[in-house]
Amino acid sequence: HMYTLYLSYNVNVSALFLTGFLSGALFAPFLGSFVDKFGRKNSCIVYCVLEIIINTLEHSQDFGVLLFGRVLGGISTNLLFSAFESWMATEHRKRGFPEDWMSRTYSEASIGNGAMAILAGIVSQMLEDRLGHIGPFQGAIALTVLALLMVLPWEENYGENKDDKDHSLYH
């Protein structure tokens, strides 16, 4: 849906996609440590806020605004693939659940992710059919607000830091 939206805006689609991928690559080395130090719940909240901003920026046809959104998208993608899983693994251990449950959780999450991707594709297409190319992004804003409301009551957890005097982004 992003590709067709950008085509409708008549902007350089490949530059936007490349910017998102490069942003993800540039920020990846720092974000894992950032998540550990800033807090996993806080990082999940930042992810949600970034996604709301990014999907709001998609309403603009200005190339600079879209480019900024793709930079934020690279950051948010890294947060998606680090903060939520780190939070869950730490909470699992903190609550004393058996370690063998972890593999089942990941297995069920993988199946659930696949099913949700299919459902998301169907709903996105329905939103695009009804609201135009921007429809899926409007739907994403609403669902991300819902996700944010679900994250807010979580307990915070942090990564272990073997040297409390280390204030760098790397452990």
Q: 1-44 pLDDT, tens per residue?
A: 999 999 999 999 999 999 999 999 999 999 989 999 999 999 99
Give percent of the chain above pLDDT 70: 94
Q: 80-106 pLDDT, tens per residue?
A: 999 999 999 999 999 999 999 999 999
Distance CA 84, CA 164 (A): 24
Q: Which one, of 59, 72, 56, lies nearest residue 9 by Cα? A: 59
Residues 6+ apart with CB under 8 A from 21: 74
Mean pLDDT of the chain: 93
Distance CA 54, CA 49 (A): 9
Distance CA 157, CA 88 (A): 9
Residues 6+ apart with CB under 8 A from 32: 82
What is the three-state SS of the chain?
CHHHHHHHHCCCHHHHHHHHHHHHHHHHHHHHHHHHHHCHHHHHHHHHHHHHHHHHHCCCCCHHHHHHHHHHHHHHHHHHCCHHHHHHHHHHHHCCCCCHHHHHHHHHHHHHHHHHHHHHHHHHHHHHHHHCCCHHHHHHHHHHHHHHHHHCCCCCCCCCCCCCCCCCCCC
Instruction: Say if residue 171's pLDDT is above 50.
Output: no
Say what the pLDDT of residue 162 is: 45
Say what the pLDDT of residue 161 is: 58
Instruction: Say if residue 170's pLDDT is above 50.
Output: no
Instruction: Say if residue 118's pLDDT is above 70.
Output: yes
Say what the pLDDT of residue 160 is: 76
- pLDDT bucket at 159, cuts 50 / 70 / 90: confident
The structure's pTM equals: 0.90
Residues 6+ apart with CB under 8 A from 8: 133
Instruction: Say if residue 168's pLDDT is above 80.
Output: no
Say what the pLDDT of residue 129 is: 97
Instruction: Say if residue 169's pLDDT is above 50.
Output: no
